[in-house]
Structure 1
C-alpha cells in the first residue's frame, strides 16, 4: 500500500498532466511543517500557512507602485477563441475588470531575495513535511524528459535558490523570474509587498491587453511566436530548436512588452493566480453572485496558473494562448512556475 506521502506526490503529478486526481469532498491530511518563529501552530498544511502569512508585515515602501504599470479597466469576452481551445476554456462569457496596477514583469530572484532577507520567511520547498508522525525532506518538482510516465520528479533540496536541486544555483540571475515557489509563497510575498495575486479574470484581461480577439498576446499569427515569447519550439520534450534563443528560463524583459506595457505575460513561467481552479468555472460563472470565488482560500483544490512557460509547445499544452488555463496544488514548487502581483487603484 502506498504511503500518504506517495499519494500526495502522485496527486501533484496527475494534476500536472491535466488528469484530475483531486477529491473536493476530502480535506487535506493533518500535517506539521517547520514554521517561522511567530507561527507555532498546528493544523492542516493550509491552515498553518494562512496563519503564518497573516503575521507578515508589509515592507516600509509597500505603498509604492514602482515597477508597476497602471492599466485601464474594461469589459471583454473571456474564454477560448481558437481551434486549440480546451473544454475548460468555455463557454466564452463577458467579464469586467477595474483599473489596476500590475507588475510589469514576473517577480525576479532579486526581488524575492529581498523579501526573504527582510522577513525570514521559509518557502514551501525548504520545509520538512511531517505526516502522521513521519518526516519527509524538503524539495520540489524538476522536469525530467527521460521519465515519460510523469515528466516530473521530486528532487530533494530543490528550491528557489537551487531550482534544479543541489549543484544548481541562481548566481548571476537576479533578473530571472523566481521559480520553485508555491501559491502560499506567492501570497506571502504579495502580503509583504502590499499587493495581491491577480484573479484569473484579471490575468486574461491584461494578457490580452484588453483585446478579446487575440489568440496570442502579440496577435493571431503563430509564426511570430518565437519573436514574442519564451516557449519550446521543436519536438517536445527532447528536440528543442531554440528559435527563441532560450532553451530554458529567460531574463525578464527579454521580449517586447504587450500593448499594456507588460512583459512575459505569455511564456517563460506559468504564473499563480488567486483563484481556486474549477474545470467548469465558466459555466459556474453564469448568473453567479458577486464574490462567488471567495472560496479561493480553500486548500482542498488546485489553484489557477496562467500564461504558459518555456516548456509549453505546440505538441503539448499550448499554454501561451491567451485563454489557456492550467492548475497546480497550492503547496507545489515547480521549475517553470512563478508569479507577478497586482495592486488595486486607490481613489
Structure 2
C-alpha cells in the first residue's frame, strides 16, 4: 500500500493534559505503590529483522526499511492491562483518566450507548468516531454502558499519560517500540502476524478485528463486536496474547516515520521528543479495506492525550536476573 490513511484512533482533545504523566521514557517511579497482577513473560535477548517484509504498509507510517536489531532480555505482560487491574489502581490512587477529566472520549459510531444529548459530534477526518460525553474506562460505549461483565477485558479509553501513571504505580514501564515488535513476532522470522501468515485457522479467526463492510456493518464472525477477553485467543511463541487486534497498545517511543533509517542496532529507542506517541497492534476495528494495521510490522501514532474505545496498553519490565542469550529463530506457526 502506498497511501497513508488516518489511524483508527482519533486525535485527542488538543493538548496533553499531563494527567498522571510519568517520566519521558516511561520508566517506573521508585515510589510505586501497587502491583499489576498481569503475569510477565521473559522475552529472551537476541536479534531480529524488524519492519515490513511484504510491502503491506502505508508509506507514511514508516514501516521500512527492514533492519536488524539486538535486544537485551526484558519482560512483557502476557496480556494487556485489564479493567480489573486498572480498577485496583484507581481504587488505590484516586487517579482520574484524561477522558474523565475532559468529560468525553471517542466511541465507534455503531457502538454508542448514550442519549442524543451526550453525542457531541463526529471526527471530520474519520466520521465513524463519535465524541461521547461520559465515555471513559468505566463506560466504554458511553454512560449507558458499563464494565460489570468485562473485568477480564482490556481497559480502554486510556491515554498515554494514564498508561504511564499505571506503570509507575505498578513499578513497571511501557515497552519500547522495538521491544514490542520483537516480542510480538514470538520468535518467528519475517511473518505478518504473531503466529504466521494466515489470518484464519481453518474456519476459525485467530484475531479480533472487524469483519464485514467497514465502517457500516460488522458481521462479528470472530465472535466480538468490541473488545474480547484478554486471553480469548491463543498466545504467540513467547506466551503473549493478542499482540495484534483487540486494542491498540501504547509504546514509550515518540513517533517518527523516518525513525528506522537512523535507528540504533542495540536496544533502539525512539526520538528524544515529538508530538505523537507510538501505538502498535491494531484493534477490533481494523479492516483490510481501510486500516490494515493488525500486522506485527504495522506502526501508528496518536497524541499522548488521545483516548478511544479501542485504545489500551500492556506493561513491560527489565530482567533483573542473568538471562542466557538466544537468537531469534524460525519456529512452527
Q: TM-score range by the shorter chain?
A: 0.7 to 0.9
Within the candidate set 120, 128, 131, 2:94 is matched to: 120
Runs of 4+ in 1 over 4 A off after TM superposition: 53-56, 145-149, 287-292
Corresponding residue of 1:255: 233
Residues 59-98 of structure 1: pairs in structure 2 closer than 5 A: 59-60=33-34, 67-87=39-59, 88-98=62-72
On the 8 A contact 2:276/2:304 being kept in 1, the answer is yes
Matches of 2:269 and 2:186 in 1, distance apart?
A: 25
Alignment length, in residue pairs? 299
On the 8 A contact 1:140/1:333 being kept in 2, the answer is yes
1:197 partnered with 2:174: yes
Corresponding residue of 1:16: 7
C-alpha displacement at 1:226, in angstroms? 5.0
Matches of 1:111 and 1:310 in 2, distance apart?
A: 21
User: Unaligned stretches of 5+ in structure 1?
Assistant: 1-13, 23-27, 32-43, 129-137
C-alpha displacement at 1:212, in angstroms? 2.8
1:341 partnered with 2:312: no
Matches of 2:226 and 2:38 in 1, distance apart?
A: 28
- Aligned Cα root-mean-square deviation (Å): 3.0
On the 8 A contact 2:45/2:71 being kept in 1, the answer is yes
C-alpha displacement at 1:66, in angstroms? 6.1
Residue-by-residue CA offset, 1:38-61 (whole Å, 9 max, x unaligned): xxxxxx74498448x998941255
Question: CA 1:226–1:188 in structure 2 vs 1: closer, same or farther (change >3 Å)?
Answer: farther
Corresponding residue of 1:140: 105
C-alpha displacement at 1:85, in angstroms? 2.2
Matches of 1:326 and 1:253 in 2, distance apart?
A: 24
Matches of 1:155 and 1:92 in 2, distance apart?
A: 40
C-alpha displacement at 1:213, in angstroms? 1.4
Question: CA 1:231–1:113 in structure 2 vs 1: closer, same or farther (change >3 Å)?
Answer: same
Matches of 2:287 and 2:107 in 1, distance apart?
A: 18
1:279 partnered with 2:270: no
Question: CA 1:288–1:182 in structure 2 vs 1: closer, same or farther (change >3 Å)?
Answer: same
| Secondary structure, counterpart of 2:106 in structure 1 | strand
On the 8 A contact 2:199/2:205 being kept in 1, the answer is no
Task: Select the structure with the greater relative contact order (CA < 8 A; seq sep ≥ 6).
Answer: 2
Within the candidate set 80, 87, 96, 1:106 is matched to: 80
On the 8 A contact 1:56/1:188 being kept in 2, the answer is no
C-alpha displacement at 1:288, in angstroms? 7.9
TM-score by length of 1: 0.78
C-alpha displacement at 1:307, in angstroms? 0.7
Question: CA 1:276–1:15 in structure 2 vs 1: closer, same or farther (change >3 Å)?
Answer: farther
Question: CA 1:203–1:174 in structure 2 vs 1: closer, same or farther (change >3 Å)?
Answer: same
TM-score by length of 2: 0.81
Residue-by-residue CA offset, 1:73-114 (whole Å, 9 max, x unaligned): 110001001242232101111111211111111100000000
1:173 partnered with 2:172: no
Corresponding residue of 2:119: none
Question: CA 1:58–1:94 in structure 2 vs 1: closer, same or farther (change >3 Å)?
Answer: same
1:208 partnered with 2:165: no
Question: CA 1:48–1:342 in structure 2 vs 1: closer, same or farther (change >3 Å)?
Answer: closer
User: Unaligned stretches of 5+ in structure 2?
Assistant: 112-121, 322-333
Larger relative helix fraction: 1
